[in-house]
Each structure stands twice: as structure tokens, then as C-alpha cells.
Structure 1
Amino acid sequence: MKKRILLSTLFTLHNSPVRVEEEMEKMMMWDTDNRSVVQEFILEGFPAVQHLGKILFLVHLLAYLASIMGNTLIITITWADQRLHTPMYFFLSTFSFVECCFITTVIPKLLAIFLSGRQAISFAACFTQAFVFLSLESTVFFLMGVLSLDRYLAICRPLRYSSIMSPRVCSLLVTACFTLGFLFMVVPVVHLSQLSFCGPNVIPHFFCDFGPLAKLSCSDTRSVEMLFFNIAFLILFATLLVTIIAYSHIVVTIVRLPSAKERQKAFSTCSSHLIVLSLMYGSCLFIYVKPKQTSRVDFNRQAALVNTVLTPVLNPVIYTLRNKQVHQALRGALCRGK
């Protein structure tokens, strides 16, 4: 369109060099002034299944409520029962709190999309959502690494476990997880927000994620995409490396235990953690750890549903159904209630 306007303008100037120069300057100024015209974005959601909007709204609403209730139950039981005042359950309750915040940044907007179709979100709100979402997701992975370290010390260094995992150390580890999560994500998100957004404003996603936002920028995003890729790879690789090393030692220690009952008891304390880790790392490696953030958008939306809906629903179920101490705490709470 701009080319047509420019050609039409040049044709009417009758080969006047002075007027050509003046009009070119006007066109350049007009283009520069309009490079940041995007004031809001449109979240597209899932247009292919929008005709099932009310059914999907109900399904995801129930999943959201189940996740909030399950994680809240874990937090409440952990703080109410003295038997669960241990480092592992302190980390689990913190993990549940982060999960509640994590899904609350995304699911309400997804429910609105299913109910009413496309949803508008302001420029500032979109980047705020992206920053909070990515920061909390990073925090979750750091907490998973801390949980792996906690299980390693409990099983492989039981005599030193209480002295190492003191309440002060646990609090410092949780604080470090939150701090690192926010510090790692502030630079790429702020950098991306300062680029030009002058064209399409429809985000082919159900929330403001980094890759779809980078695709809409009129600027060269290669440097910020590579920065984000390196940070995402560092977070996932570092926490996964800690987990692999910790569980390698745990497996060796469990195999050396003399009785089958002891081996089964030791493994049962780690199996829930391993299932949750598999779900989280699988979806996030698929979404984020690739240099080209703008590819496979449709597949990313489906993988993001696993990360933001399915996994938060399954986590409380996995941690409660496979944990005898939580069962005892729940029975005790029900008895006190009666």
C-alpha cells in the first residue's frame, strides 16, 4: 500500500527534483512515526475449535478449579500437620503456591477466549503477562532442581540431611529460586517490548508468549530470540543436569539397600517427583528450546496446554495419591473435622 502511495505521489510531481525530495522526506517521517502504532494485541486462541467454545470453557474451568483446589489442599495440609513440617513438604507447598500463580496468569484469559472468541489485551498487559508467566515457569524449574537435591540428601546423606537442610537454608533456596526466575526473564522480555510493533497485532496463541510476540515485531528479532533461547536452554539444562546427577546417585544408593521393602520405600518418595519432571521438561523442551522461536506455532499451542492446564491438574493428584504421609495427614484432618 505504501509503495502505491509513493508511486502515485512521484507520478504527480512532474519530475521536480525538489518536490520529489520533500515528498520522500514526508513519507519517511510518516513511516517512522507509525512504527509503534500497536496499542493492543488480539489473542486468537483456538479458532479451529471455537464452535466448541462452551464445552471447552466448562472443561478448562473445571480443570482450573481442580488445580487451584488441589494445590491449595497441599499447602493447607502441609502447614496444618506437624508431621509434614519437613524440607521436602516445604518445597512442595512452595511449588504448589507457584503453580497456582502460574496458571492464574493464563487460564482466565483462555476461559474468556472459549466463551467469547478473540480477546484484546493491551500492550503493557501483554508484556506483563509474558514476564510473569515466564518468570514463574523458570521458578518452577529451579524448585524442581532443589527438590531433586533435597531427595539426594535425604536418601544418600541421611545422617547429614537435618543439619544441611535447616529451615534457614530452605528459605534461602526458595528465595534464590524466585530471584533467579525473575532476573533471568526480565532482560529478554524488556528487550522485546522495546522493539517496534507496527503491523499485525493478532497473536496466534491463547496468551502472550515470547515466540508469538517476537514474530509480530517489525524489528530484527534475531538477537533477542537468541538471547531468550540461550537463557531458556541454560535454565532447563542446569536444572535437568542437577536432577540427572542427583537421581543417578539415588538409584545407585537404592540398589545397594539390603531389603526389598527399603528399596520400595525409598523409590516411592521419588517416583512422584520423576513423573512431574517428565511432564514439565517434555512440554517445555518442545516449546522453548529451539533457536527459531517463530516456528511450529500450532504445535506450540497444544504443548502449552499440557504445560498450563494438564500438568498443574495432575501435579496435586500425583503428589497426594502416591504419598502415604499426605494420606495420613488427610485422614487426620478429616477426623478432626468430624
Structure 2
Amino acid sequence: MEIANGTTVQEFILLGFRVESQKQFLLFVFFTVLYMLTLAENITIITVVFLDNHLAQLPMYILLSNFSWMEMCYVSTTVPRMLFDLASHHGVISFHECFLQFYFFFSFGCTETFFLSAMALDRTEFFFLSAMALDRYLAICHPLRYPQIMSPNSCYSLVASCWVLGFLAYIVPATLISKLTFCGPNIIDHFVCDPVPILSLACPPLGSVPFICQVIIHVLFSVNVLFVVLSYGIVIFTLIKSSDKGSRQKSFSTVSMHLLVVTLFYGTVGAMYLIPHGESQAGATKAATLFYTAISPFLNPLIYCLRNDQVREALGKLLRRISRLLMAKGMV
């Protein structure tokens, strides 16, 4: 049966990790626990911010709660499918399902980078990083103007922009690659539908599709990295000039942890998609992909939120409230 564009391939086979059954079971258990903990962390953050009237009005926590929601969506585009393949030894994914995973996975990832960049300035894994960079920049470098610039309405507009830009960014690559002809083979040496191995399966002529996709990836990556570097550079310079030693040390501690997340995220993404890799490096590629698809979303809530004094205080209040309700109902 042939698809409209001349493609005869109706499904792809994800090879996954290619390890023996015992190791595959251990991987399944490990990533199941990691996925559940990631969901629990992010649900906790959203619940705490939503139920605490004070945190719900603060720009940084508006961004962080939306970041948590985005992280849950991001990790859910790949990990459940990976767990299913580990448990069932299935690995077969339909042509359309594969491209849907590719589009949503990279759209959520692109949205995250924008969000983190914006959070670097305040304080749908690229646009959210940009938003958090912006938040940190305004809070530290322009504290008097911060409440006016980063009002709740401004935050929601910023969040909406991140989602829209993130999901627009990968429409062109996903569409162009899906329109190529796939006439066999159909085996993807990966556990996700990644554009690089998918492109290697396309039948020639490929035309300018690989070049266009590379240009889009390079531009998105470079713009976000430059934005984050400049934002945090200005923040660090401002902190160095600060005369308040106690405040400076606390801010440096926060910013250093943010920089750790950003460095790990951009470092692995950059190594994956900007540095050429040969077929012999498939194992390293899977390891890097695992980091930013499963491990990074688990670490982000711990670094951005759960070590924060205000979040811990609000979480303590919530737990005491729940405890009182349970005691009142005679359940404790």
C-alpha cells in the first residue's frame, strides 16, 4: 500500500536500547519510577502555586507552574512510548504516529528553551528557558520596575507567546520530512522518532530538506543560547556590583543552579543536533537523548522550585492543611 507522496513504508521499527531481557526489565523499572516521580514533582508544584494566593500572584511562580505543566507534557510525549516498547518488546510505530511524536516532542522541547530563556530575564524544554531568563534579569537588574513590567497579565502573555512560538517552530521541518519518500528500510536505531535517523531512511532525492532543517535548528538554538548568555551575564555583573553581601550570595546561589540546568540542557541538545555524529555513535546519541527527555525533567523541579524557601513553606502549609482535614474526618 502506498501513501500519497509515494511512500511505501507504513510503519517504522524503533530498535530501542538493544539489551538483553534482564537489563531491559531493569531499565523499565528505573524509567517508570523516574517518570512517576517527575509527574509527582510537577503536579506538586502546580498544586502548591495554585492553592497559595501569594505565590499565585508572583511572576516567577506563574512561570514555574506553567513550566511544570509543560515539563509533564514534554516528558509524556516520549517516555510512555519508551516504557511500552521496553515492556512489550514491540517497537513498531505507525508512520503517522511517528511523525506526530516527532512534532510534539520537538515542539515541547522548543517551547521549553524559550521559557527558560525568558525565566533567565525574570529571575508550550527552549522558549520557557528564555522566559525564566527574562524574569531573573528584570528581578535582579530592575527591581523597582519589576512589578510593573512582570505583572500577572504580562506573565500570561509571555507564557502564551512561548507556547505559540514553540509549536510554530517545528511545523516546517516536520512537514518537509513527512513529505519525503520512504520506500525502505524502516528501522530506526533509536527509542524515539528523531529527525536525524528518520532522514537517513528517506529515499533520494532529498533536495534541500536536510539543509532547511539544519538551518532552522541552528537558528533556534543559537538565538536562545545568545539570549540566555547575555541575560545571565548582565545578572552576574549586576550581582558583582551589589553592596548587599547577604543578598548577593543568595542570588548567586539561585542563579548558579539555574545556570546548571541551562548548561546541561543546552549542552546535551547542542551535542546532539549541532555536532555531526556517525552511525557508530548511536549509543552516545541515545544516552544524550535520555538525559534531556527523562532525567532533565526530573531534575528541573528540584532545582527551580523544591529547594526554594517560599515553595517549601507553601508546601508545608498545604500538608498541614491536608493533615488537619484527614484528622477531622477521623482518617488519621
TM bin (shorter chain): 0.7 to 0.9
C-alpha deviation, 1:297, in angstroms: 3.0
C-alpha deviation, 1:138, in angstroms: 0.3
- Paired residue for 2:13, among 39, 42, 45? 42
**TM-score of the two chains, using structure 2 as the length reference:** 0.87
Q: Which residue of 1 aligns with 2:26?
A: 55
User: 1:318 corresponds to which letter in structure 2?
Assistant: I
Cα–Cα, structure 1 residues 324 and 330, in superposed 2: closer, same or farther, change >3 Å?
same
User: 2:50 corresponds to which letter in structure 1?
Assistant: W
User: What pairs up with 1:1-338 in 2 under 5 angstroms?
Assistant: 35-85=6-56, 86-143=58-115, 144-221=129-206, 223-290=208-275, 296-338=281-323
The answer to which of 82-91 and 193-202 deviates more is 82-91
**Counterpart secondary structure, 2:12:** strand
Cα–Cα, structure 1 residues 290 and 224, in superposed 2: closer, same or farther, change >3 Å?
farther
Higher relative contact order (CA 8 A, sep 6+): 1
Q: Which residue of 2 aligns with 1:4?
A: none
Cα–Cα, structure 1 residues 221 and 299, in superposed 2: closer, same or farther, change >3 Å?
farther
User: 1:315 corresponds to which letter in structure 2?
Assistant: N
**Counterpart secondary structure, 1:192:** helix
Cα root mean square deviation, aligned:
2.1
Alpha-carbon separation, structure 2, partners of 1:231 and 1:178 = 17
Tell me if structure 1 keeps the 8 A contact 2:5–2:179: no
Tell me if structure 1 keeps the 8 A contact 2:5–2:181: no
The answer to which of 104-113 and 228-237 deviates more is 228-237
The answer to which of 184-193 and 43-52 deviates more is 43-52
In structure 2, list runs of 5 or more residues that go unmatched.
Answer: 116-128, 324-332
Cα–Cα, structure 1 residues 49 and 259, in superposed 2: closer, same or farther, change >3 Å?
farther
The answer to which of 325-334 and 46-55 deviates more is 46-55
C-alpha deviation, 1:246, in angstroms: 1.1
Alpha-carbon separation, structure 1, partners of 2:206 and 2:279 = 10
C-alpha deviation, 1:35, in angstroms: 5.0
Cα–Cα, structure 1 residues 34 and 281, in superposed 2: closer, same or farther, change >3 Å?
closer
User: 1:55 corresponds to which letter in structure 2?
Assistant: L
Tell me if structure 2 keeps the 8 A contact 1:43–1:203: yes
**Counterpart secondary structure, 2:9:** coil
Tell me if structure 1 keeps the 8 A contact 2:62–2:152: no
Alpha-carbon separation, structure 2, partners of 1:224 and 1:33 = 18
C-alpha deviation, 1:113, in angstroms: 1.9
Identity %: 40
**Counterpart secondary structure, 1:42:** strand
C-alpha deviation, 1:229, in angstroms: 1.6
User: 1:115 corresponds to which letter in structure 2?
Assistant: A
**Counterpart secondary structure, 1:296:** helix
Alpha-carbon separation, structure 2, partners of 1:291 and 1:231 = 16
Aligned length: 308
Tell me if structure 2 keeps the 8 A contact 1:214–1:225: yes
User: 1:241 corresponds to which letter in structure 2?
Assistant: L
The answer to which of 181-190 and 79-88 deviates more is 79-88
